[in-house]
Structure 1
């Protein structure tokens, strides 16, 4: 079900209030090993940000709230440490309350952080206790046997019994910039590894990452609106500069310590760690240029490693969700590019179909591996691949699918094109037995999306007109391109909820175009590697291709002499790039948090696509927005928007571009967002920003019409 929205509240405010209509939806789903219970987080409605821990009985279909943070905290409310705020920024987490939890293998104990403390819930009774531990804890995780909880505080990894006894530091920082048990910036921001420690199956030891940020450059983040406030130091590994020194250690509960040994000169990045009962611990390590990786088995006592799978790509290697890992019986599961298809491999042999682009490994059991994958890139389906190699698509309706699995039970999450409300169906042996309730806010409309394949490369493109638009019967509409457009991110999927904001923009009197060009996932190795060394050329060309296709198909409805473009992050880069490089095509732009000089962005992301700046300075120059400005006589209307305390794409990007534009005599506007990071979840800021962006484009494109 959905909750009706207040009709007097604007869509941008509702979108911000509901965290893009994600509040009230189940998340972090765990199926107990016996299949009898499904645990998940959900806020009480579509506007409240406080997540609670819930359980569904799969036999009766009855839900129960196990832990309500408002009851636990009372009037005291929630407080977060700066470290926890930074961790949530890396994971793009904007909710509150319980935002993550861990469970033992039997799902009898759940541990979570709340307002800086470690809490433990006995799931059978719902009894929940705050443990007497130091404050400002990060990432508490219960061991698989349900006896201990490990957590991080002030850079130390500590252990406490689930009953609150024997709390002690297992390992403490041995330097001012050292932390144990946390993911470093590059791992959390670019490798999708947000953890820094992993329990042994028997709960007697852990693998723990030691991160030394000493080599990493210190940047200073200041809030210009508060000059009395001291700038905050921020260790940022910019392209071409040193990364954090990351090592991995096996640490016993008795304090024994053994370093895990690999060739760190060759393999600088610790990418993945897996430790299950099915074999030795596995680590995947990655070279700095990301062309070589090694999957290593760890010898428990000595810490020595043995190569079990070497991986190579001439351009770069992709990391997979849920792999590498051992299947029951000790077979190695990996996801790798085989020719032009991302395949599931068992012990190095492909077992998934050669036309299925595998996106992630959901779960592995004795008989099968559940994965997500695409044959058509605008859809993501669930596939069950047998250990013997048989492959069955288990999702049916068009759209996007996710899942969680355990004990013969699957929770299948579907988002389709006909409704903005996703479904959470619980299946046992292929039959639906229950559904998780949804309490999201009703946005009040369903986007009307038209899909087309643009150009010879069939660039997947979504087109939205104002709802109720009568084709050919009204004045031609200005066009607004609304891309992300960068590598490893996808927007054109057959899921209505993904186009809510685009439809609102279209309803303001535009034809909105969203296009996924080369570099976006789900279309094979050649497609996404096409932008190597050439962000500026490839991604911009594909936006032009999509625009041309829309004009060709809907020529009587759209006005190609009035084209705007707007985007955030890489989409902001692409938007500014469009009016600087192709003012003949793009006539106004709003660039939010744009990367303007790739030398100012981080190592792991930037070097993957553009190489090392010391080795390829000309590549960085060619892809910089600061390059070639002196050759321009004029620039179409351009508004740069940036949060002043963004620690990912720092505000220096916009300031440097603005300074270079001014030096070249090129007019533009700058909108600083005081106290805002790379995310803008604040209701008032988000609402007014959306209104200002649309008004800027409308005014610029109307002026262009009037001047013709």
Structure 2
């Protein structure tokens, strides 16, 4: 069993504990890296369930199995508070990183040298010896990465890509920005926020050069984000590529250790998005580039002598091409590994062979070995048992598929050679149990210091409606059969990349807390959400409001099986879920009677290019599609016969992802239509709301609003 620190949690309310523990993520081990000889595993973990400062740890597997600290941020900073640059804060916002201390690290090929930052300063740790030191280099430092041979560390500072010896000598710039709008070695906003590409440089396997992305955001329109609580401060200029506007210009260079550079050439006009870069000993550097409409993408091999590229594979889709973690890549023997939607199933392909079929829905490639590929997948459309909410780890080779994870849950893994780190989040236990396997047999377990929640959720996973929409239903823990119907709270995200119905414990804690306040809570993953089939995800192309139809279908499909009072139905959501909540009370006031609308994308034209255009197309070519998905121009605002449902709109004023203009425009439209609503501005809060007091009180205020709006005591 996973070990948890048992502090004074019994005396804490759930909102306070939930906020203090960063949603129970503090103290949990993560970011595992396995040494190629299987002798040790590096990972991150904070020292307790309420301490935000992550440390770098090593689990030794040779001889006596033991854990030890390789780098302690408190010791390295001499007890000083961490200071973050604006660039680092933005990077953490893009990656949704709410922790502190050491939040990320990179290693050399042997997993003997680790590099990381603290307060914008560069540190390295010798993982065998367990010693750490600072390298005196210009800062603030972002994303340091050792060379595979461990002799050098590359990093970015001031928009330049730099390199320094692992001994601290020979620091120099390899590529420096030609203008204030240019950066080398960093992911631009759209790559980090939407493509899952959080880095901008890659070492060669021989450690003799790098591939370096150059991003110029001069073409990108500037938005200004101010802090109304501090009118003495200047607004921050944020380059934001809103739908239909210009993106940053991204180029790629091969850069030698002497600074010599060769540009990598492809048709950037036809394929402006650099989505993936892979460089391994299995073949030439491999790029995945996308057309702006994301219906066509090329996988390109790079000639490292000339920078020329050659087509490895072209892929096309009438809706869009999904970017999947871990692909494309090469096998050690030089075959292309990819995930494809060809044939109507999300399948694993190696070379010209598809190794899985519609019984599995591929989620990610975890590791590519000489003989097999390690993946995560959920049950596909042709599966005999749908296994609602479950994600498992599979080993796939030419002879078939073998499931490695056991029991209901959400499982993932890291593998190197014979050693596998398997993390399993299960419905009956909080957090995730992390086991270390060698040749399939457990040799260790990584302890979690995460706090144990003050309660466990009472959740039923089921399908609802004609389409068997995946749902989770939560009733008050003291509810008994015969107690009568309960007011309903729909609690969705409901959109792309946001699966909420999962076979795990912690994701339902907030929903259970709302249930315990006297609600029947329903979480429904309708069309557009991941995990079922490509057709399920892509059904919302140009029809975003189908997501609302499925919330209604799920609600009505469950009504006969659970004690749901359909005369008192509320909905809450954040981001896409906030848009969905606002849409619900405006379009279907006959179904929904109140809404908590958190950081809503009220006007899709104000959201970013890669996300919105993938689903709705270019706004200049499909203005009616954007209007149909808009809350600001919604016909429900002015319909005289439509009842006005209470809305509580919540937004962080420092949000640079879904900017507060979304809420301000929605509020203005509601006011012009004479529709009552409440606006709760969160000063200094971004899209994540990590602040403890804000997170705690936000839950309490939502419950108060919902009870008032539905006429509950």
TM-score (norm 2): 0.97
* Counterparts of residues 520-539 of structure 1 (less than 5 Å): 520-536=529-545, 538-539=546-547
CA displacement at 1:389 relative to structure 2: 4.0
CA deviation digits over 1:345-373, x for unaligned, max 9? 01132012331111000011111110000
What SS is found at the alignment partner of 1:74?
Answer: coil
CA distance in 1, matches of 2:37, 2:246: 47
Contact 1:58 1:426 in 2 (8 A): no
Contact 2:9 2:454 in 1 (8 A): no
CA distance in 2, matches of 1:233, 1:167: 31
Q: State the partner residue of 1:465.
A: 475
CA distance in 1, matches of 2:79, 2:114: 24
CA distance in 2, matches of 1:170, 1:696: 56
Contact 1:566 1:572 in 2 (8 A): yes
* Counterparts of residues 97-496 of structure 1 (less than 5 Å): 97-375=101-379, 376=386, 378-386=389-397, 388-472=398-482, 474-496=483-505
CA distance in 2, matches of 1:246, 1:695: 48
CA distance in 2, matches of 1:186, 1:641: 25
CA displacement at 1:3 relative to structure 2: 2.2
What SS is found at the alignment partner of 2:567?
Answer: strand
Pick the aligned partner of 2:574 from 548, 555, 568.
568
Question: 58-67 or 414-423, which moves further after superposition?
Answer: 58-67
CA deviation digits over 1:584-605, x for unaligned, max 9? 0000000000000000000000
Contact 2:374 2:396 in 1 (8 A): yes
* Counterparts of residues 661-680 of structure 1 (less than 5 Å): 661-680=670-689
CA displacement at 1:422 relative to structure 2: 1.3
Contact 2:346 2:360 in 1 (8 A): yes
Is 2:37 aligned against 1:34? yes
CA distance in 1, matches of 2:664, 2:129: 56
CA displacement at 1:75 relative to structure 2: 2.6
CA displacement at 1:443 relative to structure 2: 0.7
CA distance in 2, matches of 1:690, 1:558: 22
* Counterparts of residues 541-552 of structure 1 (less than 5 Å): 541-552=549-560
CA deviation digits over 1:581-640, x for unaligned, max 9? 000000000000000000000000000000000000000001100122222454211010
Any stretches of 5+ residues in structure 1 without a counterpart? none
What SS is found at the alignment partner of 1:546?
Answer: helix
CA distance in 1, matches of 2:454, 2:432: 15
Any stretches of 5+ residues in structure 2 without a counterpart? 380-385
Pick the aligned partner of 1:684 from 689, 693, 707.
693
Contact 2:108 2:150 in 1 (8 A): yes
Contact 2:689 2:695 in 1 (8 A): yes
Pick the aligned partner of 1:64 from 65, 68, 72.
68
CA deviation digits over 1:143-170, x for unaligned, max 9? 1110110111110000000100000111
CA distance in 2, matches of 1:397, 1:224: 51
CA deviation digits over 1:273-320, x for unaligned, max 9? 000011100000000000000000000010000101111101100011
Contact 1:2 1:421 in 2 (8 A): no
CA distance in 2, matches of 1:74, 1:475: 59
Is 2:607 aligned against 1:589? no
CA deviation digits over 1:103-151, x for unaligned, max 9? 1111111111111111011111112110010121100000111011011
What SS is found at the alignment partner of 2:346?
Answer: strand
CA distance in 1, matches of 2:216, 2:102: 29
CA displacement at 1:468 relative to structure 2: 2.6
CA displacement at 1:2 relative to structure 2: 1.5
CA distance in 2, matches of 1:33, 1:125: 17
CA deviation digits over 1:204-237, x for unaligned, max 9? 1000000000000000000111111100000000
CA distance in 1, matches of 2:533, 2:235: 44
| CA RMSD in angstroms, aligned pairs only | 1.1
CA displacement at 1:19 relative to structure 2: 1.0
Q: State the partner residue of 1:2.
A: 4
What SS is found at the alignment partner of 2:75?
Answer: helix
CA displacement at 1:6 relative to structure 2: 2.6
CA distance in 2, matches of 1:422, 1:255: 45
What SS is found at the alignment partner of 1:420?
Answer: coil
Is 2:607 aligned against 1:601? yes
Q: State the partner residue of 2:54.
A: 51
Q: State the partner residue of 1:637.
A: 646
What SS is found at the alignment partner of 1:194?
Answer: coil
Q: Which runs of 4+ in 1 moved over 4 A?
A: none
CA displacement at 1:17 relative to structure 2: 1.2
Contact 2:70 2:126 in 1 (8 A): no
CA distance in 2, matches of 1:265, 1:578: 39
CA distance in 2, matches of 1:348, 1:184: 33
What SS is found at the alignment partner of 1:113?
Answer: strand
CA deviation digits over 1:501-545, x for unaligned, max 9? 111110111110000000111211111111111112x00010001
What SS is found at the alignment partner of 1:7?
Answer: helix
CA distance in 1, matches of 2:400, 2:68: 38
What SS is found at the alignment partner of 2:711?
Answer: helix
Pick the aligned partner of 2:510 from 476, 480, 501.
501
CA displacement at 1:48 relative to structure 2: 0.1
Pick the aligned partner of 1:87 from 87, 91, 94.
91
CA displacement at 1:338 relative to structure 2: 2.4
What SS is found at the alignment partner of 2:676?
Answer: coil
TM-score (norm 1): 0.98
Contact 1:352 1:389 in 2 (8 A): no
CA displacement at 1:398 relative to structure 2: 0.9
Contact 2:52 2:100 in 1 (8 A): yes
Contact 2:599 2:658 in 1 (8 A): yes
Pick the aligned partner of 2:619 from 610, 613, 618.
613
Is 2:706 aligned against 1:697? yes
CA distance in 2, matches of 1:441, 1:6: 8
Matched length: 699
Question: 493-502 or 290-299, which moves further after superposition?
Answer: 493-502
CA deviation digits over 1:382-421, x for unaligned, max 9? 00012x3422111111111010111310010001111113
Contact 1:339 1:525 in 2 (8 A): no
CA distance in 2, matches of 1:522, 1:687: 31
